[in-house]
């Protein structure tokens, strides 16, 4: 089953992305996967669970709220925890893991706008290689991609 991946980030951004993802999922028959990323400083610890911190109490409350939003839309929401060292690599691996057709990712804005645009271009190309569309919800992007999902038959 195809999925729509939503990276868990700050509360307001994630809530907006969850609403959009759930609306698209309801119309296409996809499920929504909430990606909870845990940064690891030592790359040798990736995948071991060592050094990864579980969600805080406030993050758990947010996750419950996101689950309620999905329930209100009538779509399935799954939580996917993942340790990572590189955001781009983590997003690409998660897209392949859950068979995502759309990825909502909160990519931090760097100090240099042109470098940020190159970063987004590179990430978008990597995800397109996995047949996944990137959406950052960033109004500063010159062309926000339109989400087009077709019903699963």
45 within domain boundaries: yes
144 within domain boundaries: no
Give residue-wise pLDDT tens across range 93-110.
999 999 999 999 998 777
28 within domain boundaries: yes
pLDDT of the residue at 144: 45
140 within domain boundaries: no
Residue partners of 118: CB distance under 8 A and separation at least 6: none
73 within domain boundaries: yes
Q: Measured between alpha carbons, how far is residue 129 from residues 8, 22, 95, 124 in Å? A: 23, 24, 11, 9
pLDDT of the residue at 105: 95
52 within domain boundaries: yes
pLDDT of the residue at 33: 97
152 within domain boundaries: no
Give residue-wise pLDDT tens across range 130-140.
999 999 987 66
Give the domain CATH number at 114.
3.40.50.620
pLDDT of 92 strictly over 90 = yes
Tell me how many domains the chain contains: 1
* End-to-end Cα distance, the chain: 11
What H or E segment, with its residue span, contains residue 135?
strand 133-135
**CB of 101 closer than 8 Å to CB of 30:** yes
Confidence of residue 34 (pLDDT cuts 50, 70, 90): very high
Confidence of residue 1 (pLDDT cuts 50, 70, 90): confident
Domain that holds residue 57: 3-135
27 within domain boundaries: yes
pTM of the model: 0.83
């Amino acid at each position: 089953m195809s999925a729509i991946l939503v990276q868990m980030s700050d509360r307001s951004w994630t809530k907006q992305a969850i609403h959009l993802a759930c609306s698209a999922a309801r119309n296409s028959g996809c499920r929504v996967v909430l990606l909870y990323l845990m940064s690891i400083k030592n790359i040798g610890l990736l995948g071991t669970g060592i050094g990864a911190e579980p969600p805080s109490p406030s993050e758990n409350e947010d996750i419950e709220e996101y689950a309620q939003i999905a329930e209100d839309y009538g779509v399935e929401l799954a939580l996917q925890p993942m340790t990572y060292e590189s955001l781009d690599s983590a997003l690409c691996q998660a897209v392949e893991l859950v068979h995502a057709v759309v990825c909502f990712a909160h990519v931090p804005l760097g100090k240099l706008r042109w470098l940020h645009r190159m970063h987004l271009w590179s990430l978008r190309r990597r995800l397109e290689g996995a047949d996944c569309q990137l959406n950052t919800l960033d109004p500063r992007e010159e062309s926000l991609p339109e989400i087009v999902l077709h019903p699963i038959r």
